[in-house]
Structure formats: C-alpha cells, structure tokens
Amino acid sequence: MKNLLGQDLESLEKIASSFGELPFRGRQLYSSIYNSYKKINCIDDIKVLPSNFRTKLIKEGYIISGLRLIKKSVSNDGTVKLLLSTIDDEFIETVGIPSNKRLTVCVSSQVGCPMDCKFCATGKDGLKRSLKVGEILEQILLIQYEMNQKATNIVFMGMGEPLLNMDELLLSIKSINNDLNISQRKITVSTVAIPDKIIQLSEFSLQKLGKCQFTLAISLHAPNQEIREKIIPSAKSYKINSIVKDCREFVRKTGRRISFEYILLNKLNDQIDHADQLSNLIKGFQCHVNLIQYNTIDGVMFERSSSKNSQRFKERLIRNGINVSFRKSRGLEKNSACGQLRQKIAIQ
C-alpha cells in the first residue's frame, strides 16, 4: 500500500502526471487530503477527481487512510482518546486535549514501546513496529474530525519512543508544518533519551527541515542516576549526567530551550533534597522543568505525590532559580493513562 498522506504538493502533482492527468489534479488531491473539513476514508470519497483517475489510483495500491477507529473515550474534562487499528491489525492511541482556543493532539510514533518505563502502561507488551508518516498524520486528522476543531499544537508524547523512529518523525514534522500549517514552535517531541540521538536529532533537523524550532522534551523524572534506574531501565546505558550534557549541546546548536518532564512520585522523587539535586543537575542553561501529576495505573507500585509535597517541590525549584511550571493533567480518570485502552483490547 502507498499512502498519499505525507506526500507534499509537488509529489502529488507528479503522481497525477504519472497517470496522464494535469498537475491541477494533484492540487485537488492535496486540498482534499489536508484541507477537507470532513473525514476522507478512501480515494473514492474524493468526488472532485474523475472516477477513472480514482480507479487507477486504487488499482495501483494508493490509499489515504490506514487507520480505523475502534473506541472513543471522552473524559469529564473534554479530553478525547481514540483507540485506532492499523492496516496490519495493531492498535495505537491518540489523544485530543482542548483548552480555550487550543487543541493539542498527542500522537503516537510507534506501536507499543521498547523502553519499558516502570510508570508507563505503553511498554508493557514491548515494541511491535514503528509508524509511518501517513499513520502519524492521520491521527491528527482523526482527532480534528472527531472533535470538530482544528489542531493548534502537536506533541509526540503518545505511544512509542520518537527518536527510535527518527526518519518518519522528521517527515511528520515537515508535513505538519508545511501541509497542516502548524508552526514548528507548536510541536513538542518527547523522548526518554537515547544515547547519541539527541545530538543526531539537532543535526538531522537542520539538514532535513532547514531549521529546528520544535521543543525537545526530555522525560527525566529523576534528580539522580540511582532513582532514574529504578523507574527507567534504559537509564543504565545512558547516564543522567550524559543526558544533560547532550541537552546543553542541543541548546547550543539550535538555540531552543529544553523542557525536562518530571512526574512526581510519592516519596520516591518528590522530596526537598530531590529538588535541590535536580536544580544542581540542570542549572546554567536554557531549560524548563515541567512537573506532572502521576496518572495511577493498576498493578503498578507508584503513587501520586501529595499536593503538599508537589507544591513544596515546585517552590524549592523556583527558589533555586529554575524555570518551572505544573502541567495541568488531563483525563485523570482511573486507568486512563496512555496505553491502557490498547491493553484492555489486547487482553479481551
């Protein structure tokens, strides 16, 4: 199957020409795929194209939709989570988070995840495969359709480790920017941190995108190596000091501030001395700490930090001169963490 999603305007014009059509048919394809306000399920839905051209595209294996909606879950705060089936019968999740005039779409980059972070449901079944650019973009289009709202912000914080799917990640960012008209500055890439990949990301972004203006978010979640190894198995191969060193280099190369994601876990990483250790670790360069309330998961030993400890932790970071915010958690109903819809389907 050859997915038209992810193809730019020039590529679609060339595809149209290869079938003996005038280039404007490619422009019609482009407009139908990226600018339509209704869900386009298949090429035959694009009625503006001649039927014989649609037939030829289908016979040649072209598609514009490889995902199927299995389940839609709506939280009390309006957050929408979609469980989607891929063309090879795997399952992924994507989330739409509305706030004021914004719609943030949290997209998955892989089916499952190989990192097995102990606080996360996504990696419990390991990695199945990486997603293609069309599958990533379609998540955004499906959320827009289901919520009847244009996406304004994109975060690669769903299932998977984006830096282990870097080629498709960068192609997706390019298309989100150029074809969906969402600025790179409205895109965030979240990674648990992979050896050598942070520096590679800065270099490849400048080569393939011409600029690197998206936000890089590091899932740090610990103030020291010992605690990080308890919750993130991959930490053993990538020391926390090396991660911060590479982040400093990323900032130097791109001029973009780093965001450190930090889930507060009761009595494990939420104490005052932990705040001091974190401050000493990351001070002295452009960075920001995003404190996150833990979303509890059945069968996982971690507990959410108390409101008192969370506030004390934040105040200590501020006192130490660290830029910090408390990310408002959305969709906090029990067992609504990323990966859990997929888990429920898998065990049925």
Which of the residues are catalytic? 93, 338
343 forms bridges with which residues in the sheet?
Answer: none
Cα separation, 110 vs 136, whole angstroms: 9
Which among 213, 203, 138, 132 has a CA at the least distance from the CA of 168? 132
3-state secondary structure 245-270: HHHHHHHHHHCCCEEEEEEEECCCCC
DSSP state for residue 329 in the 8-state scheme: P
Strands 62-63 and 2-3: parallel
Tell me 341's DSSP state. H
Q: What's the order of all strands across the beta sheet hosting 287-293?
A: 68-74, 80-85, 91-99, 102-106, 153-156, 187-191, 215-219, 258-264, 287-293, 324-327
The separation between CA 255 and the C-alpha centre of its own chain, rounded to angstroms, equals 22
Q: Could you please report the per-residue DSSP string of 197-253?
A: HHHHHHHHHHHHTS---SEEEEE---SSHHHHHHH-GGGGGS-HHHHHHHHHHHHHH
Neighbours of 31 (CB within 10 A): 14
DSSP letter for each residue of 22-89: -HHHHHHHHHHHHS-SS---SGGG-TTS-HHHHHHHHHTTEES---EEEEEEE-TTS-EEEEEE-TTS
C-beta atoms surrounding 325 within 10 Å: 11
The whole-angstrom separation of Cα 125 and Cα 339 is 10
Distance from chain centroid for Cα 204: 18
